[in-house]
A and B are shown apart, each in its own frame.
Chain A
Amino acid sequence: MLTHVVRRSFTSCLIRRSLSTISSQSSSPSPPPPIRICVVGSGPAGFYLTQNLLKLHQSLPVTIDILEKAPVPFGLVRYGVAPDHPEVKNVIHTFTKIAEHEHVRFIGNIHIGHTVRLQELQQFYHIIILAYGSSVERTLNIPGETSLENVFSAKDFVGWYNGVPENAQLRPKLDGTDCAVIIGMGNVALDCARILLSPIDDLAKTDITDQALDILRQSRIRHVILVGRRGPMQVSFTIKELRELTKLNGVQSMLKKEDFQQIDQNMIDKLERPRKRLTELMLKTVRTNQTKDHAERFWYLKFWRRPRRINGKTMVESVDFEYTEPVDRQQFANENLFVKENGTIETVPCGLVIKSIGYYGVQIDPWLPFDKERGIILNHQNRIDDRPGFYCTGWIGRGARGVIVETTTESHTVAKRIMDDIEQGRLQNLHDVKSGGDGLISLAKSRQVRCISYDDWKKLDAHETKLGLSKGKPREKILNIDKMLELTSNSNS
């Protein structure tokens, strides 16, 4: 959080720093060079860390540059959060205040590990924090997954309706089938289900792309089946999202009593609160079995099924699932339940498959110590192994799980650790003069890359907002990178 009045008082610490600097020349203290900090990634992890660094660094001269691969900031807040969850995007107001802070500079359209190598950043910055998230989807590695049409990762499907440029050409075919299968039972799976099931008029008022709206308008999908490898006590989605789905206009929940038979009051009483309330909501949904008048669309949960094969000629026609069961029946309610397959196969006919089974991060540079298996940077308490001056925060350091509260909480801790390292003298080169963003932007320019400033983004932002206004939407996202860059370079009316 930034209060309306930001207090900055450098004087006392400027003097303290200059006196502590071993200087052979001057008797009059000259201002010490600012500590240059660079945050790679402009999603919540990057912005919240910057906010907390600013608070802790009120006594030290510091500049913080937030780097971003895309021409636009905010990461998943722009490209991941569902269009019908605008309140979740309110954080953008906080981020804007941070980006416009005197000592913060947003530098967009710069791909670290590509245009500029990770090690090269050390020329310009004393401290580098990687906060670039987890952008690769987990795969099933089953036949038909990559060869058949209309089989998508949730990452691509979400990217498509949220206007991610590289997904603009996805073109899911929604008018050739009435049944979609979503593999996975997390919140992203529910997001995809909701987008497929929501009344189109409700979606038309959100910032979902016009392109997606056009395709959804033609959709014949009436049944959405979410399939999970384990049981009802292992679902990963949370109660708000489930509740939302049960209340969706014109949509009926079709949960099966048999799936929940094993859950008794004794089992429920032993659960922690979040799991307890979630399970109780599912049970209530089964029990009341509200048959909605005029329900035209339906959603289902299928448990204990592991996908084995996707079938079809050129487009998906069905998915083969193998039944699973608990290795130990006593563990039915355990969140970390192990299951084994039992050989029985069920074929589920469908015309669209979305795989929503999680994400992991990429190693943006070979020089970066990385756990390829888990998809995270090798680090201890956010300090990257064997790379003094380098830190990580957010999903890339701890795995692709958690909502905004995990990120805000973590950012306090990471900022403190960095501050600690500065004060305990664990960072060697802090007295060096480094050019920060000026140097980086020059280097990028010499490599034919034009960096985007926050003011540039605001031009694009105003354009998207104005376009959306005329359609009753919060914004109409531009889908083409070149067009985005063009709109950030001159003031269009």
Chain B
Amino acid sequence: MTLSGRNLEAPHSVIESNIGRSSVFMWDDNILCLCMINNISALLVALRHHGDYEWQDPKSDDEVVNIVFINKDGKRIPIRGKIGDNLLYLGHRYGIEIEGACEASLACSTCHVYVKENYLDKLPEPKEEEEDQLDLAAFLKSNSRLGCQVILKKDLEGAEFALPQATRNYYVDGHKPTPH
């Protein structure tokens, strides 16, 4: 089953995703070929994981969710997102300096953000896997979350997300051991 009519050559890369028992084969940046996908919602999740959805503009004002990123220098960057946008990929679309090394698979903490206090409890509780990765984030605070786990919805209108400070001294002597 393919999404386009293209003839398929060997896949460029295979991403083993956590979507149930499905495998997603990537032929290039924009074409997904789905084999053994169990259901349509898994397909939608796969599209969202890739970041294509965030490049679509809101279709109507009903969809719009305005948020603000605050980058490491304190500069405020307002962004017009929409319901369902993944904060990490939305940030990527607008050039926000938010890393996403593992591509939203809860295998790193590089998309760590601070959520403005009164919006924190509008977000669903973090999964255990998210908490495990937050343990390794630098400068962890009580309002820390992983950006890749934030999905925009109406009651996040006006929410602000600050990036942690990048400056950090690296000591070789007397430094607390970090795991690898």
Binding site for B on A (CB under 8 A): 1, 3-4, 85-88, 90-94, 186-188, 205, 236-240, 243, 273-274, 277-278, 335-336, 374, 376, 397-406, 408-410, 412-413, 462, 465-466, 468-469, 474-475
Residues of A within 8 A of B121 (CB): none
Identify the closest chain A residue to B51 (Cβ).
Answer: A4
| Residue pair B135, A238 in contact (C-beta under 8 Å) | yes
Query: In the complex, which residue of chain B has the Cβ closest to the Cβ of A402?
Result: B178
Q: What is the CA–CA distance of A87 and B133 in the complex, to the nearest angstrom?
A: 13
Most buried by B among A87, A188, A236, A468: A87
Contact A409/B135 with A187-B179, A402-B178 known, Cβ cut-off 8 Å: no
In the assembled complex, the Cα of A87 lies from the Cα of B108 at a distance in Å of 9
Known: A87-B102, A88-B108, A92-B13. A401 touches B180 (CB 8 A): yes
Assess the A399–B172 pair: CB atoms within 8 A: yes
For B11, the chain A residues whose CB sits under 8 A away are 465, 469
When distances are taken between beta carbons in the complex, the residues of chain B under 8 Å from A404 are 101-102, 108, 110
| Interface 1/0 per residue, B151-180 and A, CB below 8 Å | 000000000000000111010100111111
Contact residues of B between 106 and 136, Cβ < 8 Å to A: 106-110, 112, 128-129, 131-133, 135-136
Knowing A240-B132, A465-B14 are in contact, say whether A90-B103 is a contact too (CB < 8 A): yes
A/B interface sample: 26 pairs, CB < 8 A: A1-B92, A1-B99, A1-B100, A3-B93, A87-B107, A90-B103, A90-B105, A205-B16, A239-B135, A240-B129, A240-B132, A274-B135, A277-B135, A376-B172, A397-B170, A398-B170, A401-B177, A402-B178, A403-B180, A404-B108, A405-B101, A405-B110, A406-B178, A409-B138, A468-B14, A475-B14
In contact, B172 and A239 (Cβ under 8 angstroms): no
Residue of A nearest to B99 (CB): A408
Residues of A within 8 A of B170 (CB): 397-398, 410
Q: Are B103 and A1 neighbours in the complex by a CB distance under 8 Å?
A: no
| Contact between B136 and A90, CB atoms less than 8 A apart | no
Complex Cα spacing A399 to B133, Å: 22
Q: Do residues A85 and B10 form an inter-chain contact, with CB atoms below 8 A?
A: no
Task: For the complex, give the distance between the alpha carbons of A67 and B107 in Å.
Answer: 27
Q: CB-CB < 8 A to A188: which residues of B?
A: 180
CA distance A1 to B89 in the complex (A): 11
Find the B residue at minimum CB distance from A84.
B16
Q: Is B15 in the interface zone, CB < 8 Å from A?
A: yes
Question: Are A413 and B168 in contact (CB-based, < 8 A)?
Answer: yes
The reply on B95 being an interface residue by CB < 8 A is: yes
Which residue of A is nearest B168, CB measured?
A: A409
- Contact yes or no, B13 A465, CB < 8 A: yes
> How far is B108's CA from A469's CA once the two chains are assembled, in angstroms?
27
| A412 close to B166 (CB less than 8 A) | yes
The residues of A that contact B13 with a CB separation of less than 8 Å are 92-93, 465, 474
Q: State whether the Cβ of B140 lies closer than 8 Å to any Cβ in chain A.
A: yes
B65 within 8 A of A: no
